């Protein structure tokens, strides 16, 4: 990618320049640094860039730092936090790595919930005595698990819809493509192929 503007000072660069003549900053390689997208044109630029390398528009890095998005390859715990916090954030992007790690982590959490349910219903339920105290305790834990599973399930549903839309945005597709999930057989396959595509810049 030919960088047209210095990401440090916004000065227009000469073709194939390695340093900015105005501020002396080295021109970073987009493939070697953490990235974000220009708030004006959507071009992928270095995450710490003050200006867009394509359109030269100044970036609001203060807001980005405040939101805590200056993270390269977030750890699994951070990804889960971003997943649940982003339940209603549809105007952002999620790259392929973060998307699939998050999907895997949610699969593990789902297995955990199923394991707890198995222990309560099939193990504890089958072995509990007829004592009233044991019955009340069994009923209490069952009710708690129902409530927790319901809240987690609803929130996870919205979070999944949101991260699916953000993944589509990351490959320059409209979130409306998610409606393919309602097309039997072929729809989910098409979406799976799209989710496996690498990030793309706005055209």
The structure's pTM equals 0.59
Give the number of C-alpha atoms closer than 13 A to the C-alpha of residue 98, restricted to the C-beta side.
23
Domain boundaries, the chain: 1-70, 76-195
Residue 45, strand partner residues:
36
**What are the pLDDT digits (tens) for 97-120?**
999 999 999 999 989 888 887 777
Cα 184 from Cα 13, distance rounded (Å): 51
Q: What is the per-residue pLDDT for 2?
A: 55
- Average pLDDT of the chain is 81
Show the tokens assigned to 152.
């987690």
Q: Is the pLDDT of residue 131 over 70?
A: no
Q: Are 128 and 136 in contact (CB under 8 A)?
A: no
């Amino acid at each position: 990618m030919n960088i047209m503007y210095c990401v440090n000072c916004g000065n227009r660069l000469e073709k194939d320049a390695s340093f900015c003549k105005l501020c002396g900053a080295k021109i970073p390689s987009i493939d070697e640094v953490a990235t974000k997208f220009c708030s004006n044109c959507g071009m992928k630029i270095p995450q710490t860039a003050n200006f867009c390398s394509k359109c030269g528009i100044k970036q609001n890095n203060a807001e980005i730092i405040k939101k805590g998005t200056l993270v390269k390859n977030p750890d699994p715990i951070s990804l889960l936090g971003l997943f649940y916090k982003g339940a209603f954030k549809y105007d952002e992007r999620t790259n392929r790595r973060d998307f699939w790690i998050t999907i895997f982590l949610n699969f593990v959490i789902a297995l955990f919930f199923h394991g707890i349910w198995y222990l309560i219903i099939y193990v504890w339920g089958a072995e509990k005595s007829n004592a009233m105290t044991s019955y009340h305790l069994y009923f209490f834990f069952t009710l708690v698990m129902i409530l927790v599973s319901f809240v987690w399930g609803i929130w996870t549903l919205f979070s999944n819809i949101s991260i699916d839309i953000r993944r589509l945005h990351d490959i320059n597709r409209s979130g409306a493509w998610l409606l393919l999930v309602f097309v039997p057989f072929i729809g989910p396959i098409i979406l799976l192929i799209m989710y496996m595509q690498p990030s793309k810049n706005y055209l």
